Every structure is written in C-alpha cells, then in structure tokens.
C-alpha cells in the first residue's frame, strides 16, 4: 500500500485548473527544498531512531453463511482515534492514519523506537528492538473495542475477492458511468471518504492519461484452468485493455488496496542517509521476495506472489507521449519509470557509474539546485521527481513562503512512490532528521513475522554502516531483480543479481573466517553474479559470507539484555529459515491453502467459501493465538 504523505489542506483544484498552476507549484517546491537542504546540510543526530508503518484490512465475517466481506468503516474508526490522539497528546502509544481504501487503516508507534535512548545508557540498544512485536500487538488491542462483534482487522496484503460481487459491508455495486474511477468492478465507496482527496487522485489519473488505469496480472494455470484464459466483459474499454491469460483490473484501489510494511530510519547526517539509500537499494527485491504474500487478485490465483507491479500499473499516470508510444507534442519528457517504481539512481557520488538506466530530469531545476549548493546526485534526484505534475493543489495555498512552508515540495515528494524514499528533515519538526524509508515489503500474516522483517531491515542498515559493506550493482540489475522477486515461489525457483565481494578496504576483519579480502575487478561486470536468496542470506561455503551470519555477528557485538538478544536472534533465524525454504512465504502458504481446500476445482478460481475459510484462519492466527507451526516454527 502507498502512504500519501503530507497532503495539502483546503479545497483542491480540479485537473484542468491544476495544470495551469503546475509549473508554479514545481518551482516553488524546488525553492522550498533548497531552503530545507541548506538549513540541514550540516545537521547531526547522534541518537538513532526508527519506526514502522503497517496497514490493516477491516473485514466483517458472516459465520452463518460462511462469507467474509470488506468492512467500509475506516472513517468512523479514524474519527474516534483522532479524538483520542488529540486528548492524549504525546502519551498516545499508537497513531492511526487514513489510507486510500475505506476498508483500510494504518498504524504506527506513537514514538519512534529508540527515541528515549541515551548513547551512554546501557539499555539504549535494547530500546531499538525489544518492544517492536509488543507494540504491534498493542495496536490490535487499541482498536479491538471499536470493532463490531464479527469484525476483525487483519494483516492481509489484499482481500482475495476484491472486485467480485457482494464483497463489502454495506453492500456496494460498481457504477462505471457515474463513478470517479469508472471501474466495472469497484464502487467509489471503496475509496476513503474521510475527505475528498482520494477521489480527486482517482479522477486525476483517469483524466491525465485519458482512460482508466489498466492492470493485468498473469493467471496461474492450474490443471483445469481454461487455456487460453479469456474473460469477457460487457464493456468495450475493458475488452480492449484485458490481456489473454491475465487477470484484468481497472481501478487504482486494486493497487492502493494492497497493504504493506514500511520501515523508516533516521541517519546521523545527510551523507549517512546517502549511504543507506544506495546500499539498501539492492536489498529491496530480496526482502520483497522473502515476504511475498499476494498470490490472489480479483478472485483468481495469479502466477505472481507479489503485489508490486499491480501497484505500479495502478499508479502510472504517464501519457502515451511520456511512455514513448507517440511523438512528444503536448508533453515535455519521455519518462521511463512510472510514479511508483524502483529507484532510478544512486545518491552517492562514488556510485554514479552504476546509474545505467536512463533518467530524465528538469535541467533548469537541476541547475538551480546545483547553484544553491545541492550535491549533483541529489540535485538530479530532486529534478527527476519534479518532472511529475503535482496531483493535489490547494487553492488556498498556491503562493507560499519557501522560508517557512514546504507544502509544494512535499506534494510532489510524497506522490513519487519509489522502493526507497529519501526524506529530508520536515521544516517545522526540529526533532526529526535525515531519513530513509524502506518501502518494498509486503505485510506479513503475524505480528512476530512483521516484527522480524522490520528488525532485520534495521539490522541490515546497521551492518552496512558498521562493516562498511558495499552491495551496489547496476540499477538495471535491481530492476531485473524486482521483476524476479514477484514471480511465483521466487525464493526457491529464481536467482538474483548480487555483488559477490561485499567487503571494502574499510571493512574490519571478521571472526567468522571472512576477512577483508577486497577484490578490484578488471571488468566491473565480474563483481556481481546471480545467486539464490538462500545463498545471499545464508551464504555458501567460502565463496560468500551471507547476510544472516553478518547480522548475527553484529548482534553478538552489541549490548543487549538476554531477553532482547533471544528475541532478535529469533527474528534473524525466521528470515534465515524463509531463505532456506524451511519456512514458506505467506504467498506459498496461502496458495497451498487454496489448492488443498475441498471446494477448489483446480481452475484458479478462489470462491467465497475458500476466502471465508482462509480469512477466518488468518483471524484465528492473528487475533486468537492459533499456532501454525509451518509459519513461524521455533519462533
């Protein structure tokens, strides 16, 4: 799922009016970023802090008829939570936020992990790790009293039958002729009603590209699946857009309605943020594959295990000219990447030679940024983000003071959804520094698994910095890995490009036998090879150390109490077992559940009874402590 970030208040301009003001907004946004950068370029934050964001799906069970539907109550729940937050202030331990779907709700910790740590305090490292899983459980308890008797909030990447009939409470029906989305599957009631912004976003995309979004996920060909698999719709645009052997979807909510786990970490300074951004980038497809949890779309088993490309397609607002399908006439740029994509370039000067994917950026903005002291790679990054049109423009805030406001910068920054987000300090929140947001991971089925993925992401960032590791590979190889990561059972069936010599001249000696034998290759292509995820994570022989042993080495080197140490080791082992196939990914578990169900006909169809039994089992696992050993055995 995406997080819309900071959305401007006030009445929003429609698409035609926003186009007239787009260049003004972009230029103001560039000046606002320059002000933020120059204010904070020398900033140092010694206290490491981090946080997670989790999106939940609200469902209503009908146990008498063996059905489960989406419960469209997020607005009602959020209004109560906002009142509590205002009343409790900084004492609020859980913060609830709006998401795109009216059946979704996002939660974060009230304070970041480590916020109360003192560098000289022996408990400072414990504070980073020892409360994550408990905090996630606390979120369920916080909202449980507001749910109806048969309602539940689930960690569920996407509702399996989204877009099928009779799948919401209250009941809704699509109205393609009169709705904002024009969807033949979903009504506008699926879109969050807390304010009109998400409706405007939905309409913006359709108006900018001149038609509805078209999403096609490959069908899983089971033994009785029609071959070829062709769907017929009483709608000309759908018949043109739907691909053979694919599951067709036609609304942003099919992408936005997918929930995820995101982790944001604060860097010591801007240069450390550059390092984290670059070194975490090659890890984005690896962590996405390990957490794959989305094998079903619109009531069909897909041949993918992940959600990524569905969201990419749902948030692609490029016109035919910008896609390269027509000559440039009305648009300025031919843009290779959609708004939602893997990163397009590294930020460290030393890694610029690996930026082998074409990147288009506004030369005037770039020159203005350079002239104001912004480093060239960062200037290019910002100038690339700002080739996009602003989606949301408040009529009340067109003209802003770049010294005191940053809405125009945030409006464009927050609507570029990349696998990593480089986040400068907010203008009016002095306690927050330079940050990097890790965005590719899918939501897991249990709090223990979500805590494990969040903590391991932080451990990866720590070994990068402590051991001066180098994971950088060409950007095109990351793109290839992102496609591979979504394939069915990619953890076991696929190989990924990865750097084979991850040590540098500055890497200290290791006690585990992998010393700093840094190799300089005559041909750079020799520095990276294809490896399995098991090899990347657990290592193999004396050829590659593996990231799991390095994380264990790091955990052994820091001061943790016995309880925290044991919990962190369990998290690391859970990821190691996923990589070695001792534990299945959620996608593997869900696919296996469907194919073993007594009503499944091996035709790829996920019917109402299967969906009910699947989500009822997930509810028992998540909210009633049902133990499923194959998911988190020994953990």
Is residue 191 within 8 A of residue 100, CB to CB? The reply is yes
Measured in residues, the chain has a length of 635
Q: What is the dihedral of CA 83, 87, 93, 94, to 10 degrees?
A: 10
Residues of the chain falling short of pLDDT 50: 1-7, 119-120, 511, 516, 634-635
Q: Are 503 and 471 in contact (CB under 8 A)?
A: no
Q: What is the H or E stretch that residue 52 is in?
A: strand 50-62
DSSP 265: E
Q: What pLDDT was estimated at residue 206?
A: 87
Phi, psi (degrees; rounded to nearest 5) at 476 = -65, -30
Give the whole-angstrom CA distance, residue 110 versus residue 307: 28
The pLDDT value recorded for residue 634 is 46
pLDDT value of position 122: 54
Tell me how far the alpha carbon of residue 107 is from its chain's centroid: 14
Q: Which residues make Cβ contacts (< 8 Å) with residue 174, sequence separation at least 6? A: 183, 184, 185, 186, 187
CB neighbour list of residue 437: distance below 8 Å, 6 or more residues apart: 262, 263, 264, 420, 421, 423
Do the Cβ atoms of 111 and 52 come closer than 8 Å?
Answer: no
Q: What is the pLDDT of residue 506?
A: 82
pLDDT value, residue 2:
35
Contact yes or no for 604/222 (Cβ under 8 A): yes
Predicted local confidence at residue 576, as pLDDT = 98
623 close to 150: Cβ distance less than 8 angstroms: no
What pLDDT, in 10s, does the model give residues 484-526?
Answer: 999 999 999 999 999 999 998 888 866 455 554 556 555 677 7
Round to whole Å and give the CA distance between 151 and 167. Answer: 14
Cβ(453)–Cβ(441) under 8 Å?
yes
587-628: pLDDT as tens digits: 999 999 999 999 999 999 999 999 999 999 999 999 987 777
**Mind listing the pLDDT tens digit for each residue in 293-349?**
999 999 999 999 999 999 999 999 999 999 999 999 999 999 999 999 999 999 999
Distances (CA, A) of 547 to 48, 274, 345: 22, 21, 24
69 CB neighbour count, 10 Å cutoff: 23
pLDDT at 485: 98
Say how far apart CA 371 and CA 619 lie, in whole Å: 56
| pLDDT recorded at residue 519 | 60
Contact 190, 103 (CB under 8 A): yes
Segment holding 416, helix H or strand E: none
Q: Where are the alpha helices (DSSP H) in 225-341?
A: 236-241, 252-256, 270-280, 284-290, 308-314, 320-323
Contact 103, 70 (CB under 8 A): yes
pLDDT for 397: 84
- What ranges in 90-131 are assigned the alpha helix state H? 124-129
Q: How many CA atoms lie within 13 A of 154 on its CB side?
A: 28
User: Do 340 and 201 touch, CB atoms closer than 8 A?
Assistant: no
Instruction: Extract the tokens encoding 40.
Output: 């904070």
């Amino acid at each position: 799922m995406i997080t819309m970030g900071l959305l401007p208040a006030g009445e929003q301009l429609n698409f035609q009016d926003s186009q007239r003001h787009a260049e003004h907004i972009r230029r103001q946004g560039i000046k606002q970023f320059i002000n933020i950068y120059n204010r904070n370029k020398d900033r140092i934050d010694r206290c490491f802090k981090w946080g997670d964001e989790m999106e939940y799906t609200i469902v209503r069970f009908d146990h008498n008829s063996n059905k489960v539907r989406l419960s469209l109550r997020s607005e009602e729940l959020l209004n109560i939570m906002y009142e509590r937050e205002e009343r409790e202030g900084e004492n609020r331990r859980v913060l609830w936020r709006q998401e795109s779907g009216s059946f979704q709700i996002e939660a974060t910790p009230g304070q970041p992990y480590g916020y109360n740590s003192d560098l000289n305090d022996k408990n400072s490292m414990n504070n980073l790790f020892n409360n994550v899983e408990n905090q996630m459980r606390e979120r369920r308890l916080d909202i449980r009293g507001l749910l109806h008797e048969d309602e539940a909030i689930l960690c569920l990447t996407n509702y399996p039958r989204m877009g099928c009939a009779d799948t919401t409470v209250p009941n809704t029906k699509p109205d393609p002729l009169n709705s904002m989305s024009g969807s033949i599957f979903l009504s506008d009631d699926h879109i969050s009603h807390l304010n009109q912004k998400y409706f405007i976003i939905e309409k913006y995309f359709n108006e900018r590209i001149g038609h509805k979004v078209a999403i096609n996920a490959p069908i899983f060909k089971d033994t009785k699946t029609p071959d070829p698999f062709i769907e017929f719709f009483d709608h000309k645009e759908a018949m043109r857009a739907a691909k053979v052997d694919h599951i067709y979807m036609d609304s942003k909510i099919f992408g936005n309605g997918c929930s995820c786990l995101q982790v944001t970490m604060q860097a010591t300074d801007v240069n450390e943020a550059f390092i984290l951004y670059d070194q975490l980038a090659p890890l984005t497809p690896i962590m996405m594959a390990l957490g794959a949890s989305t094998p079903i779309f619109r009531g069909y088993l897909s041949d993918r295990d992940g959600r990524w490309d569905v969201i990419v397609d749902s948030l692609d607002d490029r016109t035919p000219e910008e896609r390269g399908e027509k000559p440039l006439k009305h648009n300025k740029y031919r843009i290779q990447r959609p708004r939602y994509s893997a990163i397009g370039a590294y930020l460290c000067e030393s890694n610029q030679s690996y930026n082998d994917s074409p990147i288009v950026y506004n030369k005037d903005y770039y020159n203005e940024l350079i002239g104001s002291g912004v480093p060239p790679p960062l200037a290019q990054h910002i100038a690339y983000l700002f080739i996009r049109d602003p989606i949301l423009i408040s009529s009340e805030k067109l003209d802003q003071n770049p010294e005191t406001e940053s809405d125009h910068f945030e409006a464009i920054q927050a609507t570029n959804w990349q696998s990593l987000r480089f986040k400068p300090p907010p203008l009016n929140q002095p306690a927050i520094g330079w940050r990097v947001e890790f965005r590719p991971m899918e939501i897991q089925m249990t709090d223990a698994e979500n805590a494990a993925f969040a903590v391991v992401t932080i451990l990866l960032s720590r070994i990068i910095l402590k051991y001066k590791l180098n994971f950088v590979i060409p950007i095109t190889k990351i793109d290839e890995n992102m496609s591979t990561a979504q394939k069915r059972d990619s953890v076991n069936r696929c190989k990924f490009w990865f750097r084979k010599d991850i040590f540098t001249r500055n890497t200290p000696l290791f006690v585990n036998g992998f010393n700093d034998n840094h190799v300089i290759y005559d041909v750079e292509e020799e520095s990276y090879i294809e490896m399995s995820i098991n090899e990347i994570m657990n290592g193999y022989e004396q050829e590659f150390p593996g990231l799991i042993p390095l994380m264990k080495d790091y955990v052994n080197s820091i001061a943790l109490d016995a309880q925290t140490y044991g919990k962190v080791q369990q998290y690391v082992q859970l990821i190691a077992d996923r990589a070695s196939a001792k534990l299945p990914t959620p996608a593997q578990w869900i696919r296996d559940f469907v194919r073993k169900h007594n009503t499944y006909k091996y035709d790829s169809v996920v019917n109402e009874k299967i969906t009910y039994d699947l989500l009822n089992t997930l509810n028992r696992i998540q909210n009633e402590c049902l133990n499923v050993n194959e998911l988190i055995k020994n953990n």
